[in-house]
Amino acid sequence: MALYDLMFSQLDVTSSQLLVNDGFFRDTAFRKQLSDTVSSLLDLRVIPIFNENDAVSTRKAPYEGKNCLQDSSGIFWDNDSLAGLLALELKADLLVLLSDVEGLYSGPPSDPKSKLIHTYVKEKHQSEITFGEKSRLGRGGMTAKVNAAVCAAYAGTPVIITSGYATDNIIRVLRGERIGTVFHKDAHLWTSIKEVSAHEMAVAARNSSRRLQVLNSEERRKILLAMADALEINESVIRLENGADVADAEEMGYEKALISRLTLRPEKISSLVKSVRMLADMEEPIGQILKRTELADKLILEKISCPLGVLLVIFESRPDALVQIAALAIRSGNGLLLKGGKEAKRSNAILHKVITSIIPDTVGDKLIGLVTSREDIPDLLKLDDVIDLVVPRGSNKLVSQIKGTTKIPVLGHADGICHVYVDKTANIDMAKKIIRDAKIDYPAACNAMETLLVHVDLSRNGGLDELVAELQREGVQLYGGPRASNLLNISETHSFHLEYSSLACTVEIVDDVFAAIDHIHHHGSAHTECIVAEDSEVAEAFLSQVDSAAVFHNASTRFCDGTRFGLGAEVGISTGRIHARGPVGVEGLLTNRWILRGSGHVVNSDRGVTYTYKDLPVKA
Amino acid sequence: MALYDLMFSQLDVTSSQLLVNDGFFRDTAFRKQLSDTVSSLLDLRVIPIFNENDAVSTRKAPYEGKNCLQDSSGIFWDNDSLAGLLALELKADLLVLLSDVEGLYSGPPSDPKSKLIHTYVKEKHQSEITFGEKSRLGRGGMTAKVNAAVCAAYAGTPVIITSGYATDNIIRVLRGERIGTVFHKDAHLWTSIKEVSAHEMAVAARNSSRRLQVLNSEERRKILLAMADALEINESVIRLENGADVADAEEMGYEKALISRLTLRPEKISSLVKSVRMLADMEEPIGQILKRTELADKLILEKISCPLGVLLVIFESRPDALVQIAALAIRSGNGLLLKGGKEAKRSNAILHKVITSIIPDTVGDKLIGLVTSREDIPDLLKLDDVIDLVVPRGSNKLVSQIKGTTKIPVLGHADGICHVYVDKTANIDMAKKIIRDAKIDYPAACNAMETLLVHVDLSRNGGLDELVAELQREGVQLYGGPRASNLLNISETHSFHLEYSSLACTVEIVDDVFAAIDHIHHHGSAHTECIVAEDSEVAEAFLSQVDSAAVFHNASTRFCDGTRFGLGAEVGISTGRIHARGPVGVEGLLTNRWILRGSGHVVNSDRGVTYTYKDLPVKA
């Protein structure tokens, strides 16, 4: 109490100790007086601090199994149940119980598999949760807190259990931030689209995907064709809903580029329909035999392609991405959770409705789930047990954030710092054409040139000047490395690891192709690099040594794209090295299984069979 | 002060306030008296609490740029420098500075790329660190703390900066736990194998791997052949060092199985040598053209295989794993960091020495780094910027822990809960043979059978009894699911998700193949499953629908193994779905790059070229 007093007094707040005994609460007069006392104290801006009057307590049996707190006649046996009792008695708007952990977990908080439960739903969680060891700090572990919280919440006072370690947690709770575990008697009504269902959606998508895989190739093809037809048939309603999103976006004053990406023009819809039909007609990707080996007589091993499972795709603005990704998922036999931007909310909803309407009942329309609430992203990213791959399609910031916060593999790229190196043997006219395209064609693209490296000899024979003039003519703002800024008298860049995404570019002089390679390894993002050179030996050194997802000779970096690479629809471009690298099409959504067919073969310490290891043709 | 007083008094400790002014420290007599006062207070078990005597302070200029604290004549300008000054003056054994973050970070603590620096090395960190915004809580942000810490440490008092939020941090510091950032004048001497070098080792391995890739296939082959020769030539010294490890292990009373895994018998060495030579002679895996497409006239795209980069392999007991993995890394052009078990310390050291001795200088022996200290694992697992893949080879616990604590992709499996389903159409003799092998051949293996599922009809015609008798004859302890335990009168298992890794097995009755598939999806670990059935339609349903890394028909689960699959040496068995699945050989250590060769081709809003998309043969 002295500590409370001291700490409140530092804030110029007066506090007042109220010691109560459990028996008191049986007395209606006492309860009335208690309310009055607290009201008076609060009117005087005095904070009441309750505790049990231990010195004169006569209580022996612990409170438990009583008729909860609903009739306010229960007794308490620890500070948690006292708090619950008081919250009800005093008709508190909210009860905050502070713990030594972040809130209620699905299992012992020390177990990495345990997950923080944001919203407690009695029907769901009561039987599911396993509590860890009781906190060593006195009575009132998590079990006691949950009992008190459930009692108070179902009697009408919402409760939040959160950590007392972070000093601003109470303020964050009052601000409505999503921390700790909330207990509310109506929780079962509003958790249907919260974490409960993120998990359920993923499980349903996986189950549907398994049924999708069982279909034969022709049946999957028919789903895609039906999807294309449905998009055509529903074009007017799709455009209507999209028009509403666009109107809202214009009213909100969003920038033109975003509105352009958001708008589903008739030609965009027809091109989408076309690409869905193309995917329908592509060679069946599932069940392809990748390798076939005779291990021993009549023991045949096959490595076959199969879907990854459940994909989570998080995309911004472009509603057409929803259609492309859904088609890719169906083609590759995967379940899908989609999370679109709020600016395309109505467009996404109608597209999702149109697409799922044609999924046959044998598969189930839960194959493709549309997640709508923004706060669900953190919950989704925790589902590493049911989601197999996350594909973020959006800003660098979005991608970096997602990579930083999930254990689910992420396919994508944060930075696209692409280099063009112009060798001394370059055809300067070709180099001008390539750097112009690489920078100007679409400056905001991830495959646009951000850094131009030029062989030192070109700074002496006018080549560099021609290249620089070409870019400046197009209005490109140039920043130099230490050598180039000196030579060209332009501003020096503060970093070589810079993605402008606009009409700007870094220029630097390098001594030769090896210096260029070193520069790229040191400052690049391993996305796409290009060498312009006539000397094929120099070019091959660059192609073989530059360790990026895509390395080009005498061609614009802008070619790094799934469609231009002929992969059909593109999932994204990966700068990761695991699983898929560079532009990713259907292949990146597949994994493999090993199928072994025998007739009673056993290992028996490797004396069971005589290994033959014959490669067999993959077409049986 | 009142707060300190109150809180210490709760522990029955008396505290005493000492207010000092900066000018005092110029006075030798004062400094002498200060020491005496503090000594007396400590003798009386009174805790001195220092603060600046603000009320009478006349100081104007901040302390900084002075001759540090080394001559104890400096003045202070915040509590951090006062603390440093006092620590020296009072000849403290240790100075603990409490902050609002865990310690000193390599950049702003809010930036996810920033890493906690465990050991501050002036020469290394002084220029590297970028400080974030100053803490809002008064003067004395991290810059001030580091200045004070450096001054005190180099004058002789070690300093630790740690968080003041966790109440037990001071106790943990005194226990010698590795929290916060330590400053010590000799730090540069003992950080050579700590985090500094984990990062440097990884970078050196990557640089060496790039040089290894530049070699031609024959040169890489020669390295492997030289490695095999070196192992043969040094066999006696390898066995000598290994013998010392084995003797130590025996003395420590380790279990027999571990000692057997640890021992490098002559036949094990010669089989290792043989497998290295086999890898030397395998088809070159790097630079394989996986796909070749003409995108447009004279614009040729190739997808080629290339190394992943740097692998971290954490293995227990078996020193032969070191040789296998090193050979696989060289074959696949990857850099490698190896972390072996302490029980094989001397064996690993000599094997590492022998292997790296034959790596040519053009590549550099840092291609393969041996990490020796146990505490380095957490540091290594943080290096997601320089390590591309972690392969844990050891217990389930090791694998789960690693998966739970790193953002680097992990290749491996935690559980191996393999099922054998015996259909009603099974040949019972074959089923007996297969379940016997799957359980008995090596019960501790991850591909051993843990659950036997039996078609309900077999429980009526004696088939089940035969299967059960077969296992019991071999001493297998059986536990039943609800149906089987009832029927067979055996103990009921408390969970179907159970890996016994011993002569024990779960048995359950299922209604048909689909019930078996559901059971496996629900309770399995997606490792290896087998169906024993004569009806090929039933078998194909099982093979096509069971979603595990390996699915077998009429063959023992024990075949799931890289060597038995004919993949050569095995990296491990992956139950992940991303990148590599099932037994993983060289292929799992490779990724790909896209190489595009043109002659000045540009995109120009896709009007630059006419796309042709012709598949070309992969052999040019």
Give the pLDDT of residue B134. 46
Q: Which of A139-153, B184-198, B216-230, B275-289 has the highest average model confidence (pLDDT)?
A: B216-230
Give the pLDDT of residue B394. 80
Give the pLDDT of residue A135. 42
Q: What is the DSSP string of B417-436?
A: -EEEEE-TTS-HHHHHHHHH
Residue B131: pLDDT band with limits 50, 70, 90:
low
Give the pLDDT of residue A72. 42
Q: Does A501 touch chain B (CB under 8 A)?
A: no
Half-sphere exposure of B187 (CA within 13 A, CB side): 25
Q: Does B29 touch chain A (CB under 8 A)?
A: no
Nearest-neighbour CA in chain B from A296: distance (Å): 10
Query: Are the Cβ atoms of A578 and B437 closer than 8 angstroms?
Result: no
Nearest-neighbour CA in chain A from B278: distance (Å): 14
Query: Are the Cβ atoms of B564 and A606 closer than 8 angstroms?
Result: yes
Q: What is the mean pLDDT of residues A154-167?
A: 88
Give the pLDDT of residue A28. 81
Residue A171: pLDDT band with limits 50, 70, 90:
confident
More confident residue, A125 or A159: A159
Q: What is the mean pLDDT of residues B301-325?
A: 92
Give the pLDDT of residue A67. 42
Q: Using a CB cutoff of 8 Å and minimum separation of 24, what contacts does B57-61 make? A: B57/B21, B57/B22, B58/B21, B58/B23, B59/B21, B59/B22, B59/B23
Cα separation, B321 vs B528, whole angstroms: 23
Residue A134: pLDDT band with limits 50, 70, 90:
very low
Q: Does A296 touch chain B (CB under 8 A)?
A: no
User: Which chain A residue is nearest to residue B207, measuring alpha carbons?
Assistant: A521
Nearest-neighbour CA in chain B from A510: distance (Å): 20
Q: What is the mean pLDDT of residues A126-153?
A: 68
Burial, B583: exposed, middle or buried (Cβ in 10 Å; 0-12, 13-18, 19+)? Answer: buried
Residue B193: pLDDT band with limits 50, 70, 90:
very low
Give the pLDDT of residue B191. 55
Give the pLDDT of residue A70. 41
Nearest by Cα to A270 from A237, A241, A233: A233
Query: Are the Cβ atoms of A553 and B594 closer than 8 angstroms?
Result: no
Does position B71 have pLDDT exceeding 60, yes or no? no
Nearest-neighbour CA in chain B from A558: distance (Å): 6
B559, B560, B604 ranked by CB distance to A441: nearest: B604
Query: Are the Cβ atoms of A577 and B112 closer than 8 angstroms?
Result: no
Query: Are the Cβ atoms of B578 and A388 closer than 8 angstroms?
Result: yes
Name the least confident of B189-198, B292-301, B471-480, B598-607: B189-198
Query: Are the Cβ atoms of B579 and A578 closer than 8 angstroms?
Result: yes
Q: What is the mean pLDDT of residues B461-486?
A: 96
Summarize pLDDT for B545-589 with one digit per residue, the tens: 999 999 999 999 999 998 899 887 788 899 888 888 999 988 899
Q: Does A47 touch chain B (CB under 8 A)?
A: no
Does position A192 have pLDDT exceeding 70, yes or no? no
Cα separation, A89 vs A155, whole angstroms: 10
Nearest-neighbour CA in chain B from A253: distance (Å): 28
Query: Are the Cβ atoms of B596 and A404 closer than 8 angstroms?
Result: no
Q: Does B301 touch chain A (CB under 8 A)?
A: yes
Cα separation, B547 vs A497, whole angstroms: 43
Does position B597 have pLDDT exceeding 70, yes or no? yes
Give the pLDDT of residue B332. 94
* H or E stretch covering A468: helix A463-473
More confident residue, B488 or B10: B488
Give the pLDDT of residue A546. 95
Give the pLDDT of residue B5. 85
Does position B456 have pLDDT exceeding 90, yes or no? yes
Cα separation, A194 vs A181, whole angstroms: 13
Query: Are the Cβ atoms of A593 and B578 closer than 8 angstroms?
Result: no
A-B C-beta contacts closer than 8 Å: 238
Give the pLDDT of residue A6. 84
Q: Does A301 touch chain B (CB under 8 A)?
A: yes
Give the pLDDT of residue B72. 42
Taking each helix axis from N to C terminus, what angle separates B235-251 and B217-233, rounded to the nearest 10 degrees? 60
Q: What is the mean pLDDT of residues B285-310?
A: 94
| 3-class SS shares of chain A: helix, strand, coil, % to 5 | 40, 20, 40
Summarize pLDDT for A427-449 with one digit per residue, the tens: 999 999 999 999 999 998 899 99
Residue B395: pLDDT band with limits 50, 70, 90:
confident
Does position A105 have pLDDT exceeding 60, yes or no? yes
Give the pLDDT of residue A113. 62
Which domains, from first to last, does chain B contain?
Answer: 2-190 (3.40.1160.10), 201-405 (3.40.605.10), 418-567 (3.40.309.10)
Taking each helix axis from N to C terminus, what angle separates B513-523 and B536-545, rounded to the nearest 10 degrees? 20
Nearest by Cα to B390 from B111, B564, B584: B584
**Residue B11 token pair:** 């522990």
Residue A56: pLDDT band with limits 50, 70, 90:
low
Model ipTM over 0.85: no
Q: Does A601 touch chain B (CB under 8 A)?
A: yes
Give the pLDDT of residue A129. 64
Residues of A in contact with B334 (CB under 8 A): none
Does position B60 have pLDDT exceeding 60, yes or no? no
Q: What is the mean pLDDT of chain A?
A: 87
Cα separation, B478 vs B495, whole angstroms: 13
Query: Are the Cβ atoms of B593 and A558 closer than 8 angstroms?
Result: no
Coil, helix or strand at residue B452: strand
Summarize pLDDT for A516-531 with one digit per residue, the tens: 999 999 999 999 999 9
Does position A254 have pLDDT exceeding 60, yes or no? yes
Cα separation, A517 vs A158, whole angstroms: 61
Residue B484: pLDDT band with limits 50, 70, 90:
very high
Give the pLDDT of residue B63. 43
Mutate to test the interface with A, among B531, B586, B587, B594 (most CBs of A within 10 A): B594
Query: Are the Cβ atoms of B437 and A603 closer than 8 angstroms?
Result: yes
Query: Are the Cβ atoms of A600 and B558 closer than 8 angstroms?
Result: no
Residue A501: pLDDT band with limits 50, 70, 90:
confident
Output DSSP code: residue B191.
-
Query: Are the Cβ atoms of B582 and A594 closer than 8 angstroms?
Result: yes
Q: Does B288 touch chain A (CB under 8 A)?
A: no
Query: Are the Cβ atoms of B602 and A556 closer than 8 angstroms?
Result: yes
Residue B219: pLDDT band with limits 50, 70, 90:
very high
Q: Does A400 touch chain B (CB under 8 A)?
A: yes
Summarize pLDDT for B325-338 with one digit per residue, the tens: 999 999 999 999 99
Q: Which of A73-82, A108-117, B311-320 has the highest average model confidence (pLDDT)?
A: B311-320
Q: Does B582 touch chain A (CB under 8 A)?
A: yes
Give the pLDDT of residue A443. 92
Nearest-neighbour CA in chain A from B551: distance (Å): 5
Residues of A in contact with B404 (CB under 8 A): 112
Nearest-neighbour CA in chain B from A112: distance (Å): 7
Query: Are the Cβ atoms of A112 and B404 closer than 8 angstroms?
Result: yes
Query: Are the Cβ atoms of B293 and A565 closer than 8 angstroms?
Result: yes
| 3-class SS shares of chain B: helix, strand, coil, % to 5 | 40, 20, 40
Q: What is the mean pLDDT of residues A345-361?
A: 95
Adjacent-strand bridge partners of A593: A304
Q: Does A308 touch chain B (CB under 8 A)?
A: yes
B309, B559, B578 ranked by CB distance to A596: nearest: B559
Query: Are the Cβ atoms of A577 and B602 closer than 8 angstroms?
Result: no
Give percent above pLDDT 90 in chain B.
Answer: 55
Residue B359: pLDDT band with limits 50, 70, 90:
very high
